[in-house]
């Protein structure tokens, strides 16, 4: 370790330990961050002796690892993994550890706030909870009566957001986003596997068996950069056992560094490669004929549809070598059926063709017989959990709107909610009906949904907007009322079940009392329901509905805690040797989806080229920083210290031609003239010359997040052009392009890779 690194680490350690001191409840002034580094009587760090241990579930990301919180003198001092957990054990990631700093972040929203300046200006008055809820209830009732139930919309993310969702549903609107993650992330992959296999292979979790795979295919999946502890453990275990790895990615990612074969594909051409591989597998009889004959439908239509996709064609389209593509598919075929074709998770890339890309991955897995095989796609094992009827609100009488925001997307069913882009468009235009009130919980819509400038214009057209937040991010900045939400360490959220290889049941529960005037979302929803005179939400307190959920499993909060916070069950992840029945209508895997054809959508995936960059631009791509969860953790003391800002990855040949050096500070400008904050350049051969990469979630525009404010650049504020997926309405996130501005001078990106005529070039609209 270099001296400079040692000093940096030492400083960080002192700051971290200072944050673990004991003191009053009222923040910095109350001594919460006293600099005590060890207990004077024992010489031990706080919490190492005499700490109370409370089991719960992490929510520093959506992966929900079981944890043990160590509490001493009423203060949280440490977070570890729950040793009874079959998936993460005693391990938590950097973010899991840093939940301590979320709880004690001095920038937390401490009490209800009312806007007193213009929206986005950041001027507030402290008000009481009663005043805040009265104002929210008054406006919800007023807007509903004036414009109808559909004029209300709700953007939410996370388990606790479901309580307020019940309020919006009871008032008669279908315009809740059911977590924007569906419409900004997992929607296309969920639709593709639901239609092909009959169940969701990839949603919050990916139902695959990498630990027992003999080979793994990753297409744009950055495992190890998007750190989800059990997922990474399974991936590493598979590699440690000797699994071969094929990685397809325009960037030399962490998985690419471990790959046996790495294919640096042209962005936007992944489906072309997958369809070519499908054709190759069929032509060369590399597929599992017995499995396909017994368990699949639509093979002949698939075979005819993919004939035109040849290796020589794909080499030109994908900018890859024929030999490399051929060796990769031969390697994968060698290890069927014990093969993980990773379904992906974040799938909202290009709009057109996103469902087809993941459908092609599902088809390739089916041809190799990986469904239900060890090392392949696994089946979910149901875990008994009851439903608490006392959480429901009785819906008020209302007429359905003549036109729904869901009407244009035939495969948004059976998923609830309306596409986020459609909600914003209706708010802007008033068509097909006006939307005049937004509620928001657990999602930073300006750092999540494409074209935040349209989102801000839409907010200005609202009669009212409120949010429940832990930190004052951009969404809070633009709200009329901000409610202080309790962190996951201060609340119950309900019973959580994991239905993977080793199923278990666990519970998120508070480890400390809520700080300041923060309230759990259940309490907020219950009080708001009373003010709106809604019937339902009849549980008196959170423990009531949780015990009701646990009752069917023969448990209670008390008995579950006596068992260490987790109960595990036997799993059945693999298929029987002689039989397979998937939950499609026919019980067979659909290699061609007739339901798609019924809606004039391709039943077999087709390659739909994403337009190439306009002259002087490169495609903007993005990914995850290993220690951060989007914009949610950028203000966290420990994580900010580890990764305070992002960098723009620029190809070394491109940098040489335009005079860029590693560490230069530049501004990125997109095709519509929108510019980023300053960002440092990372010059590397590990990115294609036609792409620029940045980590997602940085570049906060909220001055109330003192550490995160203006640190790095936001990819979201550069995404102003997007397309909606025609199947379920997801918004594309990789259809924008950037060039570089340095010292006020525009540096156009030279075109070092020829674009074939089959790929159109993006046309910049002239304003």
State pLDDT tens for residues 104-152: 999 999 999 999 999 999 999 999 999 999 999 999 999 999 999 999 9
Q: Give residue for tokens 């907020």.
A: 524
Is 40 in a helix, a strand, or coil? coil
Q: Is 11 exposed, middle or buried (0-12, 13-18, 19+ CB in 10 A)?
A: exposed
Question: In degrees rounded to 5, what are phi and psi of residue 440?
Answer: -140, 135
* Cα 481 from Cα 738, distance rounded (Å): 36
**Helices in 262-306 by DSSP H: which ranges?**
270-283, 289-295, 299-305
Q: What is the dihedral of CA 541, 545, 551, 553, to 10 degrees?
A: -130
Is 263 in a helix, a strand, or coil? strand
Q: CB neighbours (10 Å) of residue 323?
A: 10
Angle between the N-to-C axes of helices 162-170 and 521-531, in degrees from 0 to 180, rounded to the nearest 10: 20
Question: In degrees rounded to 5, what are phi and psi of residue 587?
Answer: 80, 5
Q: Give residue for tokens 């790959």.
A: 259
Q: How many distinct helices (H) and strands (E) make up the chain?
A: 23, 25
**End-to-end CA gap in the chain:** 53
**Helices in 296-387 by DSSP H: which ranges?**
299-305, 311-318, 322-334, 354-367
CA angle 376, 377, 382 (to 5 degrees): 135
* Cα 438 from Cα 465, distance rounded (Å): 5
Question: In degrees rounded to 5, what are phi and psi of residue 427?
Answer: -65, -40
* Cα 762 from Cα 459, distance rounded (Å): 30
The pLDDT value given to residue 178: 67
* Cα 91 from Cα 67, distance rounded (Å): 9
**Residues with Cβ within 8 Å of residue 414, at least 6 apart in sequence:** none
Is 439 in a helix, a strand, or coil? strand
CA of 646: how far to CAs of 154, 649, 715, 746, in Å? 31, 9, 10, 21
- Both tokens assigned to 524: 């907020």
Of all residues in the chain, the percent with pLDDT exceeding 70 is 93
* Cα 128 from Cα 113, distance rounded (Å): 8
The pLDDT value given to residue 390: 86
Mean pLDDT in order along the chain per 10 residues (767 residues)? 40 38 31 27 42 95 94 96 95 96 97 96 96 98 96 90 93 83 91 95 90 97 92 96 98 97 98 98 98 97 98 98 98 98 94 96 98 96 89 87 92 91 96 96 93 97 97 95 97 92 96 96 95 91 94 96 96 88 95 96 97 97 94 96 97 98 98 97 98 97 96 97 95 97 97 96 81
> Cβ(749)–Cβ(617) under 8 Å?
yes
The pLDDT value given to residue 399: 83
């Amino acid at each position: 370790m270099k001296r400079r690194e040692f000093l940096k680490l030492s400083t960080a350690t002192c700051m971290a330990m200072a944050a673990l001191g004991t003191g009053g409840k009222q923040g910095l002034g109350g001594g919460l961050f006293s600099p005590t580094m060890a207990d004077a009587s024992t010489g031990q760090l706080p919490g190492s002796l005499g700490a109370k241990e409370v089991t719960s579930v992490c929510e520093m990301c959506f992966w929900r690892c079981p944890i043990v919180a160590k509490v001493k003198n009423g203060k949280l001092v440490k977070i570890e993994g729950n040793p009874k957990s079959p998936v993460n054990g005693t391990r938590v990631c950097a973010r899991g550890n840093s939940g301590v700093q979320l709880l004690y972040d001095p920038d937390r929203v401490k009490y209800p706030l009312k806007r007193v300046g213009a929206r986005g200006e950041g001027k507030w008055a402290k008000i009481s909870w009663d005043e805040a809820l009265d104002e929210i209830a008054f406006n919800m009732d007023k807007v509903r009566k004036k414009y109808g139930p559909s004029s209300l919309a709700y953007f939410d993310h996370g388990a606790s957001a479901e309580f307020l969702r019940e309020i919006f549903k009871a008032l008669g609107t279908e315009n809740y986003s059911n977590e924007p993650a569906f419409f900004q992330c997992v929607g296309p992959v969920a639709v593709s596997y639901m239609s092909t296999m009959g169940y969701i292979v990839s949603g919050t979790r990916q139902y695959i068996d990498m630990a027992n795979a003999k080979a793994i295919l990753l297409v744009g999946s950055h495992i190890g950069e998007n750190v989800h502890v059990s997922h990474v453990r399974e991936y590493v275990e598979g590699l440690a056992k000797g699994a071969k790895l094929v990685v397809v990615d325009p960037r030399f990612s962490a998985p690419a560094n471990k790959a046996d074969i790495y294919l640096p594909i042209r962005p936007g051409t992944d489906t072309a490669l997958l369809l070519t591989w499908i054709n190759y597998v069929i032509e060369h009889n590399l597929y599992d004929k017995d499995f396909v004959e017994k368990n699949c439908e639509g093979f002949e239509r698939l075979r005819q549809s993919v004939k035109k996709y040849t290796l020589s064609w794909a080499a030109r389209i994908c900018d890859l070598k024929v030999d490399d593509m051929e060796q990769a598919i031969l390697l994968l075929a060698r290890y069927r059926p014990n093969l993980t074709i990773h379904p992906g998770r974040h799938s909202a890339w290009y709009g057109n063709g996103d469902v087809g890309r993941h459908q092609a991955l599902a088809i390739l897995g089916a041809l190799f017989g990986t469904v239900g095989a060890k090392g392949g796609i696994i089946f979910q094992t149901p875990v008994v959990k009851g439903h608490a009827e006392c959480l429901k609100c009785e819906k008020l009488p209302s007429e359905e709107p003549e036109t729904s925001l869901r009407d244009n997307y035939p495969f948004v069913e059976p998923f609830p909610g309306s596409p986020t882009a459609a909600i914003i468009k209706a708010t802007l235009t008033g068509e097909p009906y006006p939307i005049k009130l937004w509620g928001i919980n657990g999602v930073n819509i300006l750092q999540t949904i494409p074209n935040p400038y349209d989102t801000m214009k839409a907010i200005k057209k609202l009669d009212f907007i409120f949010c429940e937040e832990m930190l004052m991010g951009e969404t809070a900045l633009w709200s009329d009322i901000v409610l202080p939400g309790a962190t996951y360490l201060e609340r119950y959220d309900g019973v959580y079940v994991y239905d993977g290889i080793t199923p278990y049941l666990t519970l998120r529960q508070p480890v400390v009392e809520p700080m300041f005037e923060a309230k759990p979302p259940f309490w907020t929803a219950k009080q708001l329901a009373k003010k709106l005179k809604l019937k339902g939400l009849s549980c008196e307190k959170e423990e009531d509905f949780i015990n009701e959920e646990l009752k069917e499993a023969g448990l209670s909060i008390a008995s579950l805690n006596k068992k260490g916070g987790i109960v595990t069950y036997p799993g059945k992840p693999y298929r029987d040797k002689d039989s397979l029945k998937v939950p499609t209508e026919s019980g067979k895997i659909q290699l061609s989806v007739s339901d798609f054809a019924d809606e004039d959508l391709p039943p077999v995936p087709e390659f739909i080229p994403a337009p190439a960059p306009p002259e002087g631009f490169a495609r903007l791509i993005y990914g995850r920083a290993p220690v951060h969860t989007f914009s949610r953790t950028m203000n966290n003391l420990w994580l900010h210290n580890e990764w305070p800002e992002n960098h723009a990855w620029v190809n070394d040949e491109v940098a040489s031609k335009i005079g860029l050096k590693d560490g230069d500070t530049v501004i990125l400008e997109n095709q519509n003239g929108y510019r980023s904050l300053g960002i440092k350049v990372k010059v590397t051969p590990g990115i294609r010359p036609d792409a620029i990469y940045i980590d997602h979630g940085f570049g906060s525009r909220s001055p109330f997040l003192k550490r995160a404010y203006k640190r790095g650049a936001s990819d979201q504020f550069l995404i102003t052009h997007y397309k909606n997926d025609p199947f379920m309405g997801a918004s594309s996130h990789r259809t924008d392009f950037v060039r570089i501005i340095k010292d006020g001078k525009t540096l156009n990106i030279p075109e070092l890779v020829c674009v074939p005529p089959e790929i159109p070039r993006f046309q910049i609209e002239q304003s």
